Amino acid sequence: MNNSPPKGYVYLIGAGPGDPGLITVKGLECIGRADAILYDYLANDELLAHARKGAELIYAGKVGGAHNREQCQINELLVQKAREGKVVARLKGGDPFVFGRGGEECEALVAAGIPFEVVPGVTAGIGAAAYAGIPLTHRDVTTSVAFVTGHEHPGKEASEIDWERLSLGSGTVVFYMGIKNLPEIAANLVAHGRSPATPVALIRWGTRPEQEVLVGTLADIAEKARKAAFRAPAVTVVGDVVQLRDRLRWFDNRPLSGRGILVTRAADQAGEFAAMLEELGARVFECPTIRIVPPESWEDLDRELATLDGFAWVVFSSINAVNHFFARLADLGRDSRALGRCRVCAVGPKTAAALDPHGIRADLVPSDYKAEGVVAAFRELDLAGKRVLFPKADRARDVIPSGLAALGAEVVAPVAYRNVVPDSLPAAIVTALEERRIRCVTFTSSSTAENLAAMLGENRFLRLLDGVTVAAIGPVTAKTCRELGLAVHIEPREYTLAAMTAEIVQYFAQHR
């Protein structure tokens, strides 16, 4: 692939059926090169995070007839942006050339003399069926498959679908955009010879965490869809292969499948927790309620870093403390050797692991990750007359400094970083709460709970979280939640993300 595409160039990129992991490597590379990105309703918004800084993002979605832009306008816009000398990425759900109208867009580019490239994607009929556990072909069932539009051009006087050929035999038929016309599709297949008992599966939002599957037969699927208020976007799979779903279902039967879970950690720390929940099928909404920033002044921390060799212990209570401590040490032209014979305490295994890149192994990792547990662990050691450095957050509790001082230590606790409240909540998060798509909210510190309450306002905070499962990582966080008026449903015994994830799984297994 050319590393430097010419100016005035268009990439038509298949974004895949919904799971952002299904886009091709080349597709991601093209997104990263683009000066302007025109994206569809069915293209996962997460893919836009791969756009380069300053790229122009243009929504060109079309939802069930409610078009943000007509196709002719999209064609004109592609030509216009390319003529401005821009590299343009046209990000389309599924595959551009499978019911994606990519051919029409290419024709417009050819007519305008604009060079382009097509980057294929996983089409919805294949991706959604696979994630529903339905193999479209199987040597013991059928060796043929047909992809058909369920919504033909409204200007056609007669259907071009060969219903007789589709109806005869045992081949699998996949209909795109057919939910609105489902009664007619089923009736046509039966009228042309397909058995009314033929299995049918409707797959909505295929490959996404919110995937829904409704199974029936040609005789009853339309009525089932009506009663379930089953809506687009969806594909319809017709054929005996649908029966294999009971045995091959693997995606939407995971412990947290379809559960909307709100993660309130800082933006740069939410990823690990989100990945753990998504692996179990959850639909994760990331909502940073904390922004980690440097202290207002480095003066206090710098003064203690200058005399590190005079401390007997340094206590790190979080990954943030480790990161800011060593970043500031580096800014001052020093490294881990400045610790000398100073011993190190890390609160929790994750904090201890954060020390590894700096060549430091914690001398003490208390088994109880609460501040009280840290103090208890030091009771076994002689701290009388010894200096202890505790680089902390601006709003950290005083339990560790006061507790170690009571054991005879001289504790110095400079601020190494601050937790500040972000300016606002993402509108998509508020909408998801309003629409009751979030079933569980997670709090990994008191600050995350307090800040969410502050960002929403007390009344709206309690109203939007009414009936939502609340998970708090430990007793201190749980106490804060209760003080804010929330009922706490999940509180792991071990104060780790892994333990909280396990407790969330267990809770929803018991409350199906």
Give the other-Cβ count within 10 Å of 12's Cβ.
27
Contact 296, 479 (CB under 8 A): no
- Give me the phi and psi of 114, to 5 degrees please: -95, 125
Instruction: Compute the CA torsion angle 301, 270, 263, 276 (nearest 10 deg).
Output: -130
Percentage above 70 pLDDT, the chain: 95
Q: Tell the residue number behind the tokens 């909404």, with chain if given.
A: 285
The ranges of the chain annotated as CATH 3.40.1010.10 are: 9-121
**pLDDT of 486:** 96
Confidence of residue 159 (pLDDT cuts 50, 70, 90): confident
Measured CA distances, 335 to 305, 313, 318, 357 (Å):
11, 17, 19, 11
pLDDT for 152 beyond 60: yes
Interior CA angle at 37 toward 31 and 42, to 5°?
90
Mean pLDDT, range 452-474, rounded to an integer: 94
Contact 124, 150 (CB under 8 A): no
Residue 3 or 177, more confident: 177
pLDDT for 407 beyond 70: yes
Mean pLDDT, range 358-372, rounded to an integer: 90
pLDDT for 154 beyond 60: no
- Give me 149's structure tokens: 């539009």
CATH of domain 293-419: 3.40.50.10090
Mean pLDDT, range 493-504, rounded to an integer: 92
Mean pLDDT, range 463-491, rounded to an integer: 96
Confidence of residue 308 (pLDDT cuts 50, 70, 90): very high
Give the other-Cβ count within 10 Å of 141's Cβ.
17
Continuous segment of H or E residues that includes residue 4: none
Q: Of 3.40.50.1000, 3.30.420.480, 3.40.50.360, 3.40.50.10090, which CATH number belongs to 260-290+422-510?
A: 3.40.50.10090
Residue 22 or 170, more confident: 22
**pLDDT of 511:** 85
> Cα(347)–Cα(318) distance, rounded to whole angstroms?
7
pLDDT for 1 beyond 70: no
Query: Which amino acid does the sequence have at 215?
Result: V
**pLDDT of 396:** 85
Mean pLDDT, range 125-148, rounded to an integer: 96
- Give me 160's structure tokens: 């071009």
DSSP assignment letter at 47? G
pLDDT for 365 beyond 70: yes
> Cα(385)–Cα(286) distance, rounded to whole angstroms?
45
Contact 117, 152 (CB under 8 A): no
Q: 339-349 in b/e burial notation, b at 16+ Cβ within 10 A?
A: beebbbbbbbe
Percentage above 90 pLDDT, the chain: 79
**pLDDT of 264:** 92
**pLDDT of 441:** 97
pLDDT for 285 beyond 80: yes
- Give me 274's structure tokens: 């989100």
- Give me 174's structure tokens: 């996949």
Confidence of residue 419 (pLDDT cuts 50, 70, 90): confident
**pLDDT of 89:** 97
CATH of domain 9-121: 3.40.1010.10
Using DSSP bridges, classify how beta strands 387-389 and 410-412 pair: parallel, antiparallel or unpaired: parallel
Using DSSP bridges, classify how beta strands 66-67 and 172-176 pair: parallel, antiparallel or unpaired: unpaired
Beta bridge partners of 217: 199
**pLDDT of 458:** 83
Half-sphere exposure (Cβ direction) of 263: Cα atoms closer than 13 Å: 24
Q: 32-55 in b/e burial notation, b at 16+ Cβ within 10 A?
A: ebbbbbbbbebbbeebbebbeeeb
**pLDDT of 63:** 59
Using DSSP bridges, classify how beta strands 36-39 and 87-92 pair: parallel, antiparallel or unpaired: parallel
Average pLDDT, the chain: 92
**pLDDT of 369:** 80
Strand order in the sheet with 313-316: 343-346, 313-316, 387-389, 410-412
- Give me 257's structure tokens: 């499948």
DSSP, collapsed to helix, strand or coil, labels residue 434 as helix
Mean pLDDT, range 420-448, rounded to an integer: 91
Structure confidence by residue, pLDDT tens digits, 225-254: 999 999 999 999 999 999 999 999 999 999
- Give me 477's structure tokens: 């966080």
> Model's pTM, two decimal places?
0.75
**pLDDT of 380:** 87
Confidence of residue 505 (pLDDT cuts 50, 70, 90): very high
The ranges of the chain annotated as CATH 3.40.50.10090 are: 260-290+422-510, 293-419
Confidence of residue 14 (pLDDT cuts 50, 70, 90): very high
Contact 90, 78 (CB under 8 A): yes
Q: 312-331 in b/e burial notation, b at 16+ Cβ within 10 A?
A: bbbbbbbbbbbbbbbebbee
- Give me 303's structure tokens: 């003064």
> Cα(447)–Cα(509) distance, rounded to whole angstroms?
29
**Closest to 501 (Cα-Cα) out of 265, 250, 319, 267:** 265
Query: Which amino acid does the sequence have at 243?
Result: Q
The ranges of the chain annotated as CATH 3.30.950.10 are: 126-248
**pLDDT of 132:** 97
Measured CA distances, 400 to 104, 335, 351, 447 (Å):
66, 26, 16, 18
Contact 173, 239 (CB under 8 A): yes
Mean pLDDT, range 175-202, rounded to an integer: 95
Active site residues: 40, 62, 177
Confidence of residue 10 (pLDDT cuts 50, 70, 90): very high
Confidence of residue 68 (pLDDT cuts 50, 70, 90): low
Using DSSP bridges, classify how beta strands 172-176 and 145-149 pair: parallel, antiparallel or unpaired: parallel
**Closest to 17 (Cα-Cα) out of 93, 76, 91, 90:** 93
CATH 3.30.950.10 assigned to domain 126-248? The reply is yes
**pLDDT of 186:** 96
Count, in order, helices (H) and strands (E) of the chain.
Answer: 19, 23
- Give me the phi and psi of 410, to 5 degrees please: -95, 105
